[in-house]
Amino acid sequence: MNAVVGLGKCAKAAVGAGKMVQPAAEHRGCRVSSNTGQASCGSRAGQGDLPTEIWEKVKNHPCYSEEAHHHYARMHVPVAPACNIQCNYCNRKYDCANESRPGVVSEKLTPEQAVKKALAVAATIPQMTVLGIAGPGDPLANPEKTFKTFELVAKAAPDLKLCLSTNGLSLPDYVDVIAKSKIDHVTITVNMIDPEIGAKIYPWIFFNHRRYTGLDAARILADRQLLGLEMLSERGILCKVNSVMIPHINDDHLVEVNQAVKSRGAFLHNIMPLISAPEYGTVFGLNGQRGPTAQELKALQDACEGEINMMRHCRQCRADAVGLLGEDRSAEFTTDQVMKMDVKYDLEMRKAYQDRVEDERAAKAAGSKEELGELAREVSEITLLVAVATKGSGLINEHFGHAKEFQVYELSTSGAKFVGHRRVDVYCQGGYGEEDRLSTIIRGINDCHAVFVAKIGGDPRSNLIKAGIEPVDQYAHEFIEKSAIAWFRSYLDRVKSGEIQHAKRGDASIRQGALISAA
C-alpha cells in the first residue's frame, strides 16, 4: 500500500475542520551532511548536528537523546486512566510491581497529587528533567486531568520539560492546547498506515461518541494519527513515533510506516518489540503471538534508519516510572510517602548538579574522541556486539550478578554505537548465584562477543567463556564507549595475530516476563 493513506468517508468526518492529510511535510530539525546526504537527527545527534533551539529541547531529555539517557532521569505521572482505543497487545493493570511495560501502574494520581510527587522526585533526584504523562490509558482521553497536571507542574517547576504520549486518535483536536501548554515533546504510537493491518491490531476505537470496529476503526485511527503528527510538526513541537513490532503482522509494513512519519516531520522513530507473555492477559499473549528476536528487531531498526534516526534505548516504561531509563524508583515515592514529605524545590541546587553532569558528559566525549582517533587507523570489515553492565552515567559500574539489564553496543571501525538493551533476571540472590537464571542471561546476550562488567564471579565467568562470550572486567568504572573502543582495537589485534578467530554469533532472546529482582 502507498505510504500516504487515503481518507475514507469516516475519516473525512473525523478530521473535523476540513484539513486533509498532505502527501508530505518538510522534514524539520535535522542538518544533512553534504558528503553522505544523510540527516544527523534524533537520538544520536549531538550539539553540532542540530539547530540551537532543537538541541536545547533534547540535550537533557533521556527519551529524545540516547547520550542523555545515561545521565538524566524522567518520571511519568499516572493521571489518565481512561482509553479510547483497544490494542491487542495492551492490558492496563494496577499493582503489578515487577512488570515494566506501558499501561502498568501501582496507583493512580489526581493532578494535585501528581504535582506534589513531581516536586518531591525532582528535589530528591536533581537529574530528573522530564515530566511525562503516558497513561495508564491515553492522556487525550482524559484531557481535563492531563492539562490540569501540566498547568500545575509548569507553575511549580518551570525547569521541567513537559512530555505527552498518545495513541493519536484525539490528537488533532488538542494540538492548539498542547502548544499553549508549552509541551515541547509528544510521542505518538503508530503501528500501521494500512487499515487491513490495523484491523488485526485494534479491535475497536471510540470516536465522536461512537464505537468503530474493523477497517473503519483502523482507517480513522491512521488518518488522525498522521494528521496530528503533521499539525504538531508545523508548530515546531518535537514528535517521536513509537511502533510495536509484531512478527508476521506489521513487521515488514513498519518500513512504510517509517517513511510516512518521516515525511510528516517526525523527529525520531522508536520500533519496540511486542511484549506478549501469556501471564499479561493480552489478546496477543493469550493467542500465542510471539515477539521478535533480538536480531529480528535490530534488522528492522537498521532497515528504517536513515534521514530519521531510530531510538534504540527505549525501555517500554511503566506509566508511573521514576528515575533513569532502565531503573524504577517509584517505590520510593508512593502517595503516602510523598504527602508526608517536606519538599524544598531548589532550582539553584538542581542547576548546579546538572552543570556537573554536563562536565561529566564533556569528559566522556573527549575520552571517546581520543580512542576513535586510534581506531581510525584500523582497516577491518568486522562488526560485532558487546553487552555492558551499568548503573548509569555512561560508566561500566555494575556487578554482573546485580545487573537487571545489559546495554548493547555495536562495534566497528566507525566506533561504538548503542543499539539496544536486554532485560534479565538478577543472577545474585542473597549472596548466591542462581544457575537457572544464568542460562537465561546468556540467552539474552547470546549475540554478543563480550560482556563488560565492574566485577564478576568465577562460576558465571567460566560459563560465559564456555558460551563463547568474553567477560571483560579490566575497564571497571571507566566510560563505556572509550573502553569498548579500546577493547575492540585489542580484539582486532588478536584476530590479526591469529590468537583468536572471529566468528559470527547466534541470535538472542528478548525478555518477555516480569523481572525477578535480587532478594
pLDDT of residue 47: 56
Instruction: Look at strands 104-105 and 93-94 and give their pairing.
Output: parallel
Q: What percent of the chain has pLDDT over 90?
A: 57
In angstroms, the CA 169 to CA 206 distance is 9
Torsion from C-alpha of 77, 80, 81, 84, nearest 10 degrees: -140
Per the DSSP assignment, residues forming a β-bridge with 32 are 39
**In contact, 329 and 338? CB cutoff 8 Å:** no
pLDDT of residue 146: 97
Residue 371 CB neighbours (<10 A)? 21
Every domain range in the chain assigned CATH 3.30.420.130: 376-497
pLDDT at position 151 over 60:
yes
Query: Which residue, chain included where needed, has cell 498518545?
Result: 166
Residue 331's pLDDT band (boundaries 50, 70, 90)?
Answer: confident
Handedness of CA 54, 63, 39, 387 (dihedral sign): positive
pLDDT at position 97 over 50:
no
Taking residues 4-32, report their average pLDDT.
Answer: 39
Residue 240 CB neighbours (<10 A)? 24
Every domain range in the chain assigned CATH 3.20.20.70: 52-340
Residue 44's pLDDT band (boundaries 50, 70, 90)?
Answer: low
Greater confidence (34 vs 388) lies with 388
Q: Which three cell numbers stand for residue 511?
A: 525478555
The CATH superfamily of 52-340 is Aldolase class I (3.20.20.70)
In angstroms, the CA 431 to CA 443 distance is 23
Task: Report the CATH fold assignment for 376-497.
Answer: Nucleotidyltransferase; domain 5 (3.30.420)
DSSP string covering 391-424, please?
-BTTB---BGGG-SEEEEEEEETTEEEEEEEEE-
In angstroms, the CA 382 to CA 375 distance is 13
Q: Which three cell numbers stand for residue 113?
A: 497529587
pLDDT in tens, 386-436: 999 999 888 999 999 999 999 999 999 999 999 989 989 888 866 666 677
